[in-house]
Amino acid sequence: DAGITQSPRHKVTETGTPVTLRCHQTENHRYMYWYRQDPGHGLRLIHYSYGVKDTDKGEVSDGYSVSRSKTEDFLLTLESATSSQTSVYFCAISETGVEGYTFGSGTRLTVV
Amino acid sequence: AQKITQTQPGMFVQEKEAVTLDCTYDTSDPSYGLFWYKQPSSGEMIFLIYQGSYDQQNATEGRYSLNFQKARKSANLVISASQLGDSAMYFCAMREGLNYGGSQGNLIFGKGTKLSVKP
């Protein structure tokens, strides 16, 4: 396996609470990504990182923040969860950013 | 405008037959890559095949081939001899700016096609 794990795998949280999802890789890849998947939308990029402490926004970044203090960890935080953030969240990694990505198993987040 | 368009929300195919999943893309960048991913019901994203914009030949990987028509901006996935295990969502994706390194362009996905293989 590619050595990418996401935690937790499932989470139910209440509206207005903060939530942090973790992506951990053992491949020492430079690039890491957070996507969300919703029916009828495919996968949409939330944020990405091209190195430690180097991050940038994707297509649907509102309401999300990220941090990358170590090569192996990329954290996605929902500061105040809303029902519209109910989704499946995928982390992905890439060595050079040019080739296809390797995806984690996903985190199913439900905001009630 | 959508960068990646998959016009078939769902498709059926008989087992052992071939099937083509459509994908059209929109870019003005001369250097780009096209990818296909499979997502079975278990949820993981599985990389299938890649085609670079400068590749002269269509990509093939086992039973998967990519019918790349650059002038038409299409990158259709062909699955030969369908199997029951091919039932899944299939996503077409594109990355622009291959000449500029990772931070210049990220993988953009279409909305997917759900393929069902009938026994």
The set of residues, in sequence order, having a beta carbon less than 8 Å from that of B67 and lying 6+ positions away, is B20, B58, B74, B75, B76, B77, B78
Residue-level pLDDT at B2? 76
The set of residues, in sequence order, having a beta carbon less than 8 Å from that of B98 and lying 6+ positions away, is A98, B31, B32, B33, B52, B53, B105
With pLDDT > 90 as the criterion, what percentage of chain A qualifies?
85
Q: Residue A78: pLDDT above 80?
A: yes
User: Which chain B residue lies closest to A49 (C-alpha atoms)?
Assistant: B103
The single-letter code of the amino acid at A51 is: G
Best residue in A29, A56, A98, A101 for a mutation probing chain B (most B CBs within 10 Å): A98
Cβ of B110 within 8 Å of Cβ of A41? The answer is: no
User: Which chain B residue lies closest to A96 (C-alpha atoms)?
Assistant: B102
From A56-60, A88-92, A93-97, the region with the lowest mean pLDDT: A93-97
The single-letter code of the amino acid at A83 is: S
Q: Give percent helix, percent strand, percent coil of chain B, each to the nearest 5.
A: 10, 50, 45
Q: Residue A110: pLDDT above 70?
A: yes
Strands B10-14 and B113-118: parallel
Cβ of B106 within 8 Å of Cβ of A41? The answer is: no
CB atoms within 10 A of CB B104: 16
Question: Min CA distance, A80 vs chain B (Å)?
Answer: 26
Q: Residue B99: pLDDT above 70?
A: no
Question: Min CA distance, B107 vs chain A (Å)?
Answer: 8
Q: Residue A88: pLDDT above 60?
A: yes
Q: How far apart are CA B103 and CA B99, in angstroms?
A: 11
Query: Which position has the higher pLDDT, B1 or B109?
Result: B109
Question: Min CA distance, B83 vs chain A (Å)?
Answer: 23
SS3 A31: strand
Mean pLDDT of A90-103: 86
> Is B32 near chain A, with CB under 8 Å?
no
Q: Is A42 left (phi over 0), alpha (psi -120 to 50) or beta?
A: left
Cβ of B44 within 8 Å of Cβ of A105? The answer is: yes
Mean pLDDT of B50-67: 94
pLDDT digits (tens, 9 = 90+) for A39-68: 888 999 999 999 999 999 999 999 999 999
Q: Is A74 left (phi over 0), alpha (psi -120 to 50) or beta?
A: beta
